[in-house]
């Protein structure tokens, strides 16, 4: 089976139908599964602790790296810009 990864930022969980997710778990554990996992996927899954969840509504062979249901939406470009401006502005001392 070929695995196709679809990334939807911000990634907070990895979801796939049961057989696909079971194969992915074997790949991530380093079992004798083909193909070997891409190094960046292994690193992300191991260090970020993304949960692996079954979702039988996903077609076999498709793995979704997606936000968790109910997660906060990503900040808009304007919100990010305002935050950076506030962070970068020099502090004033009134006395």
In a domain, 53, yes or no: yes
In a domain, 95, yes or no: no
The closest alpha carbon to 14, from 57, 70, 63, 48, belongs to 63
Residue 41, pLDDT score? 64
Using CA atoms, how far apart are residues 24 and 50, in angstroms rounded to an integer?
13
Q: Give residues with Cβ within 8 angstroms of 11, minimum separation 6.
A: 44, 48, 50, 65, 66, 67
Domain enclosing residue 13, as ranges: 4-88
CA angle 34, 3, 23 (to 5 degrees): 55
Of 1-5, 51-55, 83-87, the range with the lowest mean pLDDT is 83-87
In a domain, 94, yes or no: no
Q: What is the pTM of this model?
A: 0.58
State how many domains the chain has. Answer: 1
In a domain, 93, yes or no: no
Q: How confident is the model at residue 68 (pLDDT cuts 50, 70, 90)?
A: confident
Q: What are phi and psi of 57, to 5 degrees?
A: -85, -5
Using CA atoms, how far apart are residues 19 and 25, in angstroms rounded to an integer?
10
């Amino acid at each position: 089976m070929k695995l196709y990864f679809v990334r939807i930022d911000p990634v907070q969980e990895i979801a796939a139908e049961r057989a696909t997710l079971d194969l992915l778990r074997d790949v991530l554990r380093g079992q004798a599964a083909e193909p070997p996992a891409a190094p960046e996927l292994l690193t992300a899954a191991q260090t970020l602790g993304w949960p692996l969840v079954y979702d039988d509504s996903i077609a076999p062979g498709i793995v979704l790296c997606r936000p968790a249901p109910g997660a906060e939406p990503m900040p808009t470009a304007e919100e990010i810009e305002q935050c950076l401006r506030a962070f970068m502005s020099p502090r004033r001392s009134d006395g």
